[in-house]
Amino acid sequence: MRYSFHGLADHPAFESFADGLRRTLEEHGHSFTENTETAALVVNFFPERAPRWFRRNGQAVFVTGVTRIEGAFDSPLECGYPLLVRSLSNLLVALVGDGLDGETHFLTPEQGHYVIRPQGRDGNGSAFFDRVYERLSPLASSTLVVDNVFTPNLPRELWEGDGETASIRRAGERLQALDLLPVPFPLAQVLPPDVLRHLRHLFGIGGLSYGNLSARRDAGSFWMSASGVDKSHLWEVGRDMLLVTGYDAARGAMLLSVPPEIEPRRVSVDAIEHWMIYREHPSVGAILHVHGWMEGVPCTAFNYPCGTYELARAVAEVVHRAEDPSRTVVGLKNHGLTITGRSLDEIFERTDGRILPHVPMA
């Protein structure tokens, strides 16, 4: 993996962190490049009170924002989440206090939050940066699958949906009622218009969302909620719900069949995960993803980002090991739950009252 730094020259206070991070990345086989346009991981340094975003050239570029917090950081989500969003980062690293002697906070778009607390100096801080690398390594090794290929060939009899889309509508209303991870900061309130336009163009993001739903149509296709839509108003086929027909590995893109006279939204970024599960387990009839938790469930080992092939593979492997893959719950580390079932109605009946609103962070 090739990585690069952005904004470092303007902020000499970050140099010790950058030196230690560069040393650790290279010890793990990653190579540095001055050219941010050719890097797969860009570490973007910016001051706390003036978050500066890095304009990535493609969806496959991961950005880690790094900032210093000079004052109190008692409410990390309240203080740090706007910095994450404004800097368009996949991960925010907030250095609180005096370098390696202070706390280091990590925040994710899913509102994941975890901390590395100071444990004393160890010469060049190698133990500290090894722990930082543990948090960055999923980014360094992940492949985003967020491209969509739309084909306007959806059969006319499906333009108004079918029984499966009706079940998704009902489930969307029930998901809304769970009130899990409501939108904390509407994007339009924390991003200037030009940055918001760029973000929407790059990822097809309509807003911060709080889960997704899908239902199998047949052996080779499934309906799924679109990205960033209000789950309590899933009505229009091609806009709010889309028919996923496959995955093109060569292009790293999901394949979708849409009505011919509609401008489609992108499907949820977790479509690759649902595709893997449906393909490998014909008994699975529906999948629900929520940003909540259940005690005692099997979990993935790493905190891979949403929409990556690696997260999808990790979840699919846990489902594969389950006694009954068609009725299982998988914990996504520092993220939430993926729940399989025979139908969406059955999933909600089985999990009623058991989903906790807070995801434990490790």
Structure tokens at 172: 């969307």
* pLDDT at residue 359, rounded to an integer: 78
* Element at 190 (helix H, strand E): helix 187-190
Buried b (16+ CB within 10 A) or exposed e, 138-158: bbbbbebbbebebeeebeeeb
Which residue type sits at 245?
Answer: T
Query: Domain residues of the chain, as ranges?
Result: 2-140, 147-351
Q: Tell me which fold the domain 147-351 belongs to.
A: L-fuculose-1-phosphate Aldolase (3.40.225)
Q: Assess contact for 202 and 59: CB atoms under 8 A.
A: yes
Q: Assess contact for 89 and 44: CB atoms under 8 A.
A: yes
* pLDDT at residue 182, rounded to an integer: 42
Low-confidence residues in the chain, pLDDT < 70: 10, 58-60, 98-101, 110-111, 119-124, 179, 181-191, 195-210, 361-362
Judge if 2-140 and 147-351 fold alike in CATH terms. no
CA nearest neighbour of 217 among 266, 166, 265: 166
Q: Distance between CA atoms of 129 and 107, rounded to whole angstroms?
A: 17
* pLDDT at residue 202, rounded to an integer: 53
* CATH superfamily placement of domain 2-140: CoaB-like (3.40.50.10300)
DSSP annotation of 194: H
